[in-house]
């Protein structure tokens, strides 16, 4: 849906034009796959009789989402978010600042609004700007970039590094959180995360119920 041009989107476009003009960066967006990647349902894993093995297999399936660039781009290992399926450093350069909200003059909300906004006139390069009312960077202790699925799994369960969440709260966050849900509605020009948030949430729930075992 193309929204009416508001003052905000005009100023965002001006910022973008300036940024694009000032750099030789390729703004090529995701080559959106013709066929969306699926997630296997929980029932697929019932035949694994060993509960721990089943738990690991469920988490590995959910890992198709967790290690997808749509998630990892916001859980980087440095102070800079990543972009696109190529996971290149965010252009223009922005840093996390206080609470992952950016630094004065380059706050995330300068460009990222409460919803995805189609970009008109840059159709060959950038088709939309991601948006969500809660758009900001995951704290550094929640960095997933460059980590194995097993390491991410251990980190997600670690109260010191998961924002003090219980397993139930992690299940809820993965399956219900609106910012997490953005990954399945990422705006034009971006490949959504595999499956649906509901199917993903069910895998995580079944993983928790089978003891939340981590891949080695």
Give the number of residues in contact with ligand HEC, rule: CB under 6 A. Answer: 49
Q: Which is nearer to ligand HEC, 136 or 205 (CB)?
A: 136
Task: Determine the Cα–Cα distance for residues 35 and 48; give it in Å rounded to an integer.
Answer: 28
Q: Which of residues 99-158 bind ligand HEC (CB under 6 A)?
A: 100, 102, 106, 108, 110-112, 126, 129-130, 135-139, 142, 156
Query: How far is Cα of residue 165 from the mean position of the Cα atoms in its chain?
Result: 19
Give the shortest CB-50-to-ligand HEC separation in angstroms.
Answer: 26
The one-character DSSP state at 188 is: T
Residue holding tokens 């995701």?
30
Out of 56, 57, 171, 180, the only residue in the binding site for ligand HEC (CB under 6 A) is 180
Told to check if 45 binds ligand HEC by CB under 6 A, we report: no
Give the shortest CB-44-to-ligand HEC separation in angstroms.
Answer: 20
Closest CA to 134 of 112, 117, 111, 119: 112
Told to check if 20 binds ligand HEC by CB under 6 A, we report: no
DSSP 97-157: BGGGSEETTEEHHHH--SS-EEPSS-TTT--EE---TT--PPPGGG--TT--HHHHHHHHH
CA distances for 176 relative to 33, 81, 166, 182, 197, angstroms = 25, 23, 15, 11, 8
Closest CA to 175 of 133, 134, 206, 141: 206
Told to check if 69 binds ligand HEC by CB under 6 A, we report: yes
Q: Which is nearer to ligand HEC, 46 or 114 (CB)?
A: 114
Out of 42, 56, 58, 65, the only residue in the binding site for ligand HEC (CB under 6 A) is 65
Q: Which residues bind ligand HEC (CB under 6 A)?
A: 15-16, 19, 27, 29, 65-66, 69-71, 73-75, 81, 83-84, 90, 92, 94, 96, 100, 102, 106, 108, 110-112, 126, 129-130, 135-139, 142, 156, 162-163, 165, 170, 173-174, 179-180, 182-183, 190, 193
């Amino acid at each position: 849906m193309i929204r009416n041009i508001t003052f905000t989107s005009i100023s965002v476009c001006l910022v973008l034009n300036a940024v694009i003009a000032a750099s030789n960066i390729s703004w090529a967006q995701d080559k959106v796959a013709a066929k969306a990647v699926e997630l296997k349902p929980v029932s697929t894993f019932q035949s694994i009789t060993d509960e721990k093995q089943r738990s690991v297999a469920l988490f590995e399936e959910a890992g198709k989402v967790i290690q997808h660039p749509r998630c990892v781009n916001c859980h980087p290992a440095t102070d800079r978010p990543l972009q696109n399926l190529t996971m290149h450093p965010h252009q223009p350069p922005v840093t996390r600042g206080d609470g992952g909200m950016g630094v004065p003059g380059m706050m995330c909300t300068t460009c990222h609004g409460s919803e995805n906004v189609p970009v008109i006139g840059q159709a060959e390069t950038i088709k939309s700007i991601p948006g969500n009312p809660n758009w900001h960077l995951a704290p550094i202790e929640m960095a997933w970039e460059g980590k194995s699925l097993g390491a991410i799994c251990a980190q997600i369960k670690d109260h010191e590094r998961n924002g003090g969440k219980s397993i139930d709260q992690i299940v809820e966050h993965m399956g219900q959180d609106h910012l997490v849900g953005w990954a399945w509605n990422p705006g034009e020009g971006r490949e959504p995360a595999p499956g649906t948030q509901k199917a993903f949430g069910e895998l995580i729930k079944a993983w928790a119920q089978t003891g939340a075992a981590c891949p080695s």
